[in-house]
A and B are shown apart, each in its own frame.
Chain A
Amino acid sequence: MARTRTRDRMNNEVNAGSMADIAFLLLIFFLVTTTILEDKGILVRLPPWSDEEPDIAKLKTRNVYSVLVNAQNQLLVRGEPKEVRDLREDTKEFILNPQRRDDLSESPRKAIISLKNDRGTSYETYLEVYNELRAAYSEIWDEQSNRQYGMDYESLPIANKRALRADFPLIISEAEPTNFGEE
């Protein structure tokens, strides 16, 4: 009797009802541990290494927008102290020079931004400043693209983006930092 009973049991199907629970448990584990690690940041292309310093002294002063960030994280823009939050508008004015002033850039093509920091400048400030300079250009690209093509810069075809970037080239020249405030 006992034997037949076991055989009967063997014929039963495995109960798959709890499968869902097990799968749920695993699912929840992975849901919790998942950090869809996405890396975002400011993409830059460093200049290739050369032993000589680039010489920006040859350029006309009116075309150079010099930004100095010191070890106290203070900004000196074209010889005057400035706050980071004013930097974007100021940069845009310099590049576009809407009033054709003779102390701002001759044309956007000739405008160059020169960025210099101390070794003691905090990375956060440096990136903030860099970000603002970038933002100034991307706002210009957006405005120009809206004016010329009637759409945002992001949705432009690549050829048009290139043309726009050639008209308003983003040139940030970084000098070797001075040795102040290194910890």
Chain B
Amino acid sequence: MSKFSKKRGKASPAISTASLPDIIFMLLFFFMVVTVLRESELLVQVNTPQATELTKLEEKSLVNYIYIGRPTAKYVDIYGTSPRIQLADKFASEADIPLFIANFRQGVPENRRSSITSSLRVDGEVTMGIVQDVKTALRKAGQVKVNYSAKKRAGDL
């Protein structure tokens, strides 16, 4: 009995908040590290279609992106409204793809080059013609691992 009462009498110190900043900083650093500030500004509108058979792309450093879509409102005056290809942060044509792929390969260690993936981020409204041209260009450039970027579809068709 006496033991209990003693304990209760003694303790009610305020919880020290001194370590709170440290905890918050830890969270902060976590978010700073995982944050990817958009790697390239989009010049074309891309609204990827939905699909169910999705795979997640694992290594970011082995993925290059090819965007296809209609130019955004800002660029309609210069580039018109027909679908365009965007490589890195410039408008391009399929003739630029081999160079783009070759440049990307340069930056990847030799033993990893076979697992380079090209992610095609294509707007759903675009017709297959331009996509086909890009695919042909990729095949000619020897880049056969391709990802059709898509969003998760929840329900049935």
Contact = CB atoms under 8 A, between A and B. Distances in A.
Given A127-B49, A182-B129, 18 more contacts: A16-B18, A26-B28, A30-B28, A30-B31, A38-B56, A39-B147, A39-B149, A40-B54, A41-B51, A41-B57, A42-B53, A42-B150, A49-B139, A49-B142, A123-B127, A127-B150, A134-B53, A177-B129
Interface of B: 17-18, 20-21, 24-25, 27-28, 31-32, 34-38, 48-49, 51-57, 63, 68, 82-83, 117, 119-129, 131-132, 135-136, 138-140, 142, 144-152, 156-157
20 contacts: A23-B25, A24-B24, A30-B28, A31-B31, A35-B36, A35-B38, A36-B34, A40-B54, A40-B57, A46-B146, A48-B144, A49-B139, A49-B140, A120-B129, A122-B126, A122-B127, A123-B125, A123-B131, A126-B128, A182-B129
Given A121-B128, A131-B52, A45 B37 contact: no
Given A33-B37, A44-B146, A120 B127 contact: yes
Nearest to A18: B21
B35 A23 contact: no
B32 A30 contact: yes
B53 A30 contact: no
B115 to A, nearest CB: 11
Contacts, number: 161
A42 to B, nearest CB: 4
Main secondary structure of the interface of A (DSSP, over half): mixed
Contacts of A127: 49, 51, 124, 148, 150
Nearest to B129: A119
